[in-house]
Amino acid sequence: MDALIVTDVQNDFCPGGALAVTDGDKIVPGINRALQAFPIRVFTQDWHPAGHSSFASAHPGYAPFDMIDMPYGPQVLWPDHCMQGTDGAAFHADLNVDPADMIVRKGFRPDIDSYSAFFENDHQTPTGLEGYLRSRGATRLTFVGLATDFCVSWSAVDAAKLGFETEVRLDLCRAIDLDGSYEAALADMRAVGVRLS
């Protein structure tokens, strides 16, 4: 059983957004077409409370894209983005959300960030997505969305480690590429057997 995981195609990650990914909106028509081919469709949505610990604004003296150490490991500090209930957190207007069987919201715990669709950044706290997919009989997962080098790659790596056959459609993703993060993400995914297409 195949599942498509549509990752964080939200206004703040698209041009004009608070954490815009170059050409992030260009993947929307392709994702809409891809949705028709999958019996299971899951969307993820970054969903931060105001003042989230991953925001640079929550750490006086730090700027967006600085790195700090958190109890769960290194953390990039981001511009305020995808705050609950804001237009920035909404899905891109052209994205066809109606086919979604499930929407997984992540990053809502104030003290820990969440890139992966499966676990918070401590790699231990589950989102519940694994159980949902297994109960639906999913064995093969295809990932699309934003951004390749953070939420998509972390999700794909976790999926592979959990035993799912995993593919990332690079043509339907876009990357931030922060200090070489894109090539590092590709290497991380290949290392655990993720198919890149």
User: Is omega for the bond preceding 147 within 30 degrees of 0, making it cis?
Assistant: yes
The catalytically annotated residue of 8, 12, 25, 46 is 8
Give the tokens for residue 145. 């969305």
Q: What are phi and psi of 138, to 5 degrees?
A: -70, 135
Q: 12, 151, 158, 173: which one is catalytic?
A: 151
Residue 136 CA to residue 123 CA, distance in Å, equals 23
Q: Does 151 participate in catalysis according to the annotation?
A: yes
- 3-state SS of the chain: helix, strand, coil percent to 5? 25, 25, 45
Closest CA to 19 of 8, 30, 29, 28: 8
Is 82 known to be catalytic?
Answer: no
Q: Which of 25, 106, 149, 173 is catalytic?
A: 106
Residue with tokens 């006086």: 60
Q: Is 101 a catalytic residue?
A: no
- Which amino acids are annotated catalytic? 8, 106, 151
